[in-house]
Amino acid sequence: MDHLENRKFKKYLIYLIIVSCVLITWKVLSSDSEEAYISEVKECLKLFQYKLQLTPLQNMLLKKLDDIPIIYVITPTYYRYVQKAELTRISQTLMLVPNAHWVVIEDSEERTKLVSNLISDSGLKTTHLVAKTPPFEKLKAKDPRWKRHRGVEQRNKALSWLRDNLQLGKDKGFVYFMDDDNAYNVKLFSEIMKIKKVGVWPVGLVGGFNVETPVLDPGTGKVNGYKSGWKPNRPFAIDMAGFAINLDLILENAKANFSYKMEKGFQESQFLSYFTTKENLEPLADNCTKVYVWHTRTEKPVVKSEVSGYEV
Ligand SMILES: *[C@@H]1O[C@H](CO)[C@@H](O)[C@H](O)[C@H]1NC(C)=O
Ligand SMILES: *[C@@H]1O[C@H](CO)[C@@H](O)[C@H](O)[C@H]1NC(C)=O
């Protein structure tokens, strides 16, 4: 570290310590429980990360408060021209989420070099798995996207990994299915942190609609229906990108899986029915008025000629 950087770092450090001491003293005096106080301190630290960009120091301090819940982000992926571009976008969104753990599952026999390199370069906390889709379920190039279930094997693999490696009661967090072909606002991850059981929100540009969203009862503020391009009467007419689940529920319901036996288009709906009911969904993103995720769907490139020596 050169002299100038060193001075700047010390200045921030002193500033941080003074402000922290004042805040902590104030919080200890004013909070009625230790839990409330710890959560306040965490909020303060998060504020520092955004306002002062004190990432290394702040991460060090955050690690000490090791009970911060983790957002387990599950991303199935498969090889095609745009794979690296898509995964780059997703990984760089997750770099803005300090408590993300990225679980990437390749539809492949083995871990590929492309994905291994990309996730290790990201510096994120990651788990890299593989699960091959059986040939009978593979989409043919000309098949419409809805014709077969997609990502079943890969999402189940990730759920098994969570259940084998995390412990109910000890590990705290949330589970979110983050497909590699969508675009995400980081605000979504702050919303996920509010979930008690299952949280839901609108998804932009999906199902032939500008937005698909749960509809709230104006009286109770609870979900009483859906605006959805396809079968809005499904018990949960919600896209894969439109919900996240408390980790406790995933660990408690070890049987909850995706399945090829489910009716086409009912994966999300049937999966959610393991955990909750429509009335108990928690509407997020300002009572489902804000859009923080979009089904952007990258156009399939037409590559007529390959320049050798490049991994695109
Ligand atoms: C959401 O709606 C409830 C009542 O239905 C209201 O109490 C609450 O303030 C609203 N929240 C936001 C963020 O708009
Ligand atoms: C869920 O998926 C995992 C991984 O594919 C599998 O091992 C397990 O048997 C499945 N469970 C059920 C109940 O289908």
Q: Is the pLDDT of residue 57 over 70?
A: no
Task: Give percent of the chain above pLDDT 70.
Answer: 82
pLDDT for the residue 257: 94
266 and 240 together in one domain: yes
Q: Which residue has the tokens 């094997």?
A: 153
In a domain, 309, yes or no: no
Is 299 an annotated catalytic residue?
A: no
Residue type, 13: L
**Dist. CA 245–CA 113, nearest whole Å:** 31
139 and 184 together in one domain: yes
264 and 131 together in one domain: yes
In a domain, 303, yes or no: no
Catalytically annotated residue among 252, 268, 282, 306: 268
User: Minimal CA–CA distance to 175: which of 108, 275, 260?
Assistant: 275
In a domain, 142, yes or no: yes
Q: Which ligand is nearest to the CA of 217?
A: 1
Q: Would the CA dihedral through 72, 73, 77, 80 be positive or negative? A: negative
Cβ of 4: how many Cβ atoms within 10 Å?
8
Average pLDDT over residues 118-136: 94
Residue 150 assigned ligand-binding role: yes
Centre of ligand 1 to C-alpha 243, Å, is: 19
Least confident among 145-159, 183-197, 219-233, 298-312: 145-159
Q: What is the pLDDT of residues 7-49, one digit of tens each?
A: 777 777 777 777 776 776 776 666 666 677 677 767 666 665 5
Centre of ligand 1 to C-alpha 79, Å, is: 43
pLDDT for the residue 55: 57
Give the SS3 label for residue 115: helix
147 and 76 together in one domain: yes
41 and 104 together in one domain: no
96 and 39 together in one domain: no
Task: Give percent of the chain above pLDDT 90.
Answer: 67
In a domain, 308, yes or no: no
Centre of ligand 2 to C-alpha 27, Å, is: 46
Residue 234 assigned ligand-binding role: no
Q: What is the pLDDT of residues 29-40, one digit of tens each?
A: 666 666 776 777
36 and 100 together in one domain: no
Give me the count of residues in the chain: 312
In a domain, 62, yes or no: no
Strands 198-200 and 203-206 turn out to be unpaired
Is 194 close to ligand 1, i.e. is its CB under 6 Å away?
no
Q: Identify the residue whose C-alpha is closest to ligand 2 atom 13.
A: 255
For residue 35, give its domain range. 3-53
pTM (predicted TM-score): 0.79
pLDDT for the residue 65: 59
CATH label of the domain that carries residue 222:
3.90.550.10
In a domain, 310, yes or no: no
Q: Is the pLDDT of residue 56 over 80?
A: no
48 and 76 together in one domain: no
43 and 154 together in one domain: no
109 and 136 together in one domain: yes
Residue 298 assigned ligand-binding role: no
Is 287 close to ligand 1, i.e. is its CB under 6 Å away?
yes
Give the SS3 label for residue 71: strand
Question: Quick one: pLDDT band at residue 177, thresholds 50, 70, 90?
Answer: very high
Q: What's the total number of domains in the chain?
A: 2
Q: Which residues contact 16 (CB under 8 A, 6 or more apart)?
A: 48, 52, 54, 57
In a domain, 235, yes or no: yes
| More confident call, 197 vs 56 | 197
Is 253 close to ligand 2, i.e. is its CB under 6 Å away?
no
Average pLDDT over residues 207-214: 95
27 and 127 together in one domain: no
pLDDT for the residue 205: 95
175 and 277 together in one domain: yes
Residue 239 assigned ligand-binding role: no
In a domain, 63, yes or no: no
Residues 180/295, Cβ–Cβ less than 8 Å? no
**Dist. CA 227–CA 157, nearest whole Å:** 31
Give the SS3 label for residue 70: strand
Alpha helix locations (H) across the chain? 3-30, 34-52, 55-64, 83-94, 113-122, 152-165, 187-192, 247-252, 267-272, 285-288
